Amino acid sequence: MSIPVTHRDVEGVQVLVIGIDDVSISEDALEEISQKLLDYTVSIPPQVVVDMQHIDFFGSSFIETLFRMWNRIKSAEGGRFALSGLRPYCLEVLQVTNLTSVWPIYPDVDAAVASFKESPPQQ
């Protein structure tokens, strides 16, 4: 099953939306999604918001993909990374793994993009 990853530029921030309707990211779909997401970490500077509003479930392999993205982005000058639109289960998974203290999480894309504009990137 192919899960679309759409892209739009919002004020210089790359917004990546995973899925269209309710989506569970299975191991079968992960490789394709991972490659699409990682391809967007090469913009200069990489400023990326992953919009997860359509995701009902993901496993540890998807967290690994997010971690790989974050590592690439944070190592680039001016790189920024954030997540938005997390549903309760997905937010709970990130809280239990303590990743909410590592990755900024916003209720929606607008809040995430605004945060990039309000404060300079941390190095």
pLDDT at 46: 87
pLDDT band at 88 (very low <50, low <70, confident <90, very high): very high
Is residue 101 one of the residues assigned to a domain?
Answer: yes
pLDDT tens readout for residues 33-67: 998 898 888 777 889 999 999 999 999 999 999 99
Give the CATH number for residue 39: 3.30.750.24
- pLDDT at residue 73 above 60? yes
Number of domains in the chain: 1
Is residue 123 one of the residues assigned to a domain?
Answer: no
Q: How many C-beta neighbours within 10 Å does residue 56 have?
A: 15
Q: Contact 103/70 with Cβ under 8 angstroms?
A: yes
Is residue 32 one of the residues assigned to a domain?
Answer: yes
Range of the domain at 43: 5-78+89-117
Q: pTM of the predicted model, to two decimals?
A: 0.91
Is residue 64 one of the residues assigned to a domain?
Answer: yes
Q: Contact 14/40 with Cβ under 8 angstroms?
A: yes
pLDDT tens readout for residues 4-34: 999 999 998 999 999 998 999 988 888 889 9
- Closest to 38 in 3D by CA, of 64, 58, 56, 60: 64
Is residue 14 one of the residues assigned to a domain?
Answer: yes
Is residue 83 one of the residues assigned to a domain?
Answer: no
Is residue 84 one of the residues assigned to a domain?
Answer: no
Distances (CA, A) of 56 to 15, 18, 116: 19, 11, 26
